[in-house]
Amino acid sequence: MMNLQDPNWATVLVWLFAISQILYLGSFLLEMYFRSLRVERVDMSEPLPASEADYPFIVLLYPVLRELESTMETTFTSLAKLDYPTDRYRVLAIPNSSDAETVASLRRLSRTFPFVEILEVPPTTDASWDMVWNAWDQNPKAYWWHRGKRAGVKDLPPKKTRQLIYATYHVAETYKGESGLTIDYIDADSCPPADHFKAAAIGLRRFDVLQARNVAGNLTASLAAAFHAFDHMTWDGAKYGHLSDPKQPYWVLGKGLFFKVDDLIELGSFHPWIAIEDPEVGERFWKNGKTLGIIEGSLIEEVPETFGEGITQRKRWVAGFFQSLATPLKEMDFSFGERVRVWMNFLPCMSMWVNTVGIPLGVWAAWRFFQGADFLPLWLVILSIFNIVAFSVLIIGLYIKTWRRTDLVLDGVGERIRYMLMVNPVFIMVWWCMWIIPLTLGFVMYVRDSGLAWQRTEKIDANNTLVRTKLDEFGALRHHH
pLDDT bucket at 454, cuts 50 / 70 / 90: low
Rounded Cα distance between 164 and 394, Å, is 38
Higher-pLDDT residue of 356 and 219 is: 219
Domains defined along the chain, listed by start: 17-462 (3.90.550.10)
Phi, psi angle pair for 75, to nearest 5°: -65, -45
Higher pLDDT: 388 or 47? It is 47
Q: By three-state DSSP, how is residue 308 classified? A: helix
Burial class (CB in 10 A: 0-12, 13-18, 19+), 463: buried
| Residue 180 · residue 208 · CB < 8 Å | no
Looking at the predicted structure, is the pLDDT value of residue 206 above 90? Answer: yes
Give pLDDT, residue 8.
65
Q: Which of 233, 237, 251, 241 is nearest to 287 (CA)?
A: 251
pLDDT digits 0-9 by tens, 3-48? 445 556 667 878 888 888 888 888 889 989 999 999 999 999 999 9
**Other beta carbons less than 10 A from residue 173's beta carbon:** 11
Please tell me the distance from the alpha carbon of residue 285 to that of residue 271, in angstroms, as a whole number: 12
Query: Is 124:154 a contact under the CB 8 Å cutoff?
Result: yes
Mean pLDDT over 255-264 rounds to 95
Greater pLDDT, 452 or 168? 168
**pLDDT value of position 466:** 64
CA 375 to CA 114: how far, in whole Å?
72
Tell me the residue type at 103: V
Any idea how long the chain is? Answer: 481
Backbone conformation region of residue 231, classed left if phi is above 0, alpha if psi is from -120 to 50, else beta: alpha
| Whether the model pTM is above 0.85 | yes
Q: Are the beta carbons of 364 and 13 closer than 8 angstroms? A: yes
Q: Give the residue-averaged pLDDT of 352-366.
A: 77
What's at 374, amino acid-wise? D
Q: Is the pLDDT of residue 453 over 70?
A: no
Distance of CA 247 to the CA centre of its chain: 20
Q: Is residue 452 over pLDDT 80?
A: no
User: Cα 432 vs. chain centroid, distance in angstroms?
Assistant: 18
Identify which of 328-337, 356-365, 392-401, 430-439 has the greatest average pLDDT: 328-337
The 10s digit of each residue's pLDDT in 223-252 is 999 999 999 888 887 889 999 999 999 999
Among 194-198, 216-220, 462-466, the range with the most confident prediction by mean pLDDT is 194-198
Pairing of strands 182-185, 116-118: unpaired
Mean pLDDT within 44-61: 93
* Average pLDDT for 320-326: 93
**Residue 217 corresponds to which amino acid?**
G
Q: Tens of pLDDT along 65-108?
A: 988 899 999 999 999 999 999 999 999 999 999 999 999 999 99
- For residue 481, pLDDT over 50 is answered with no
Give 96-100's long-range contacts (Cβ < 8 A, gap of 24+): 96/65, 96/120, 96/121, 96/158, 96/163, 97/121, 97/122, 97/123, 98/123, 98/158, 99/64, 99/65, 99/66
Sheet holding 89-93, edge to edge: 116-118, 89-93, 58-62, 182-185, 257-260, 209-216, 292-301
Q: Which amino acid is at 152?
A: G
For residues 161-171, average pLDDT = 96
| pLDDT in the model for residue 352 | 80
Q: At what angle do helices 223-232 and 307-324 cross, to 10 degrees?
A: 30
CA 269/CA 162 separation, integer angstroms: 10
What are the DSSP calls for 330-365, one per residue?
Answer: HHTT--HHHHHHHHHTTHHHHTTHHHHHHHHHHHHH
pLDDT for 398-412, tens place per residue?
Answer: 999 999 999 888 888
Average pLDDT, the chain: 88
Determine contact, residues 438/311, Cβ cutoff 8 Å.
Answer: yes
- Within its chain, how far is the Cα of 476 from the centroid? 31
The percent of residues above 70 in pLDDT, for the chain, comes to: 91
Q: Can you tell me the distance from the alpha carbon of 376 to that of 384, in angstroms, rounded to the nearest whole number?
A: 10
Between the CA of residue 314 and those of 214, 311, 469, what are the distances in Å?
17, 5, 30
Compute the distance between CA of residue 128 and CA of residue 139 in angstroms, rounded to an integer. Answer: 19
pLDDT greater than 70 at residue 468: no
